[in-house]
Amino acid sequence: MAVADKIREKLTQALGPRVLEIVDESEQHQGHAGARPGGESHFRVKIVSEAFEGLGRVERQRLVNRALAQELSGPVHALAMETRTPAEAAGST
């Protein structure tokens, strides 16, 4: 299974997101630390979920990091994240 598919599966199970966008940015990091042949090492995710209600930025990131602990200890070198509640996402359009 591709790393992006594992990320999608785990974040869907853990956070039940309304929006989940996953972008593999590995090509932009070729030749840099953590880059792997074949990519799938640098990702950007956008998540809109009720699970973030009442949580600050750090707590939201911790939820994501816990859900992806296995990937972050292995194939994923970098993960940029945008974490919003549905109300925050509605206000940013």
- pLDDT tens across 30-85, in order? 555 555 556 678 899 999 999 999 999 999 999 999 999 999 998 888 899 999 99
Cβ atoms < 10 Å from Cβ of 49: 23
Burial (CB < 10 A; 0-12, 13-18, 19+), residue 3, is buried
Q: Which long-range contacts (CB under 8 A, 24 or more apart) does 22-31 make?
A: 25/80, 29/77, 29/78
Domains within the chain, CATH numbers bracketed: 3-91 (3.30.300.90)
State how far Cα 91 lies from the chain centre.
21
Helix, strand, coil content of the chain in percent (nearest 5): 45, 20, 35
pTM of this prediction exceeds 0.95: no
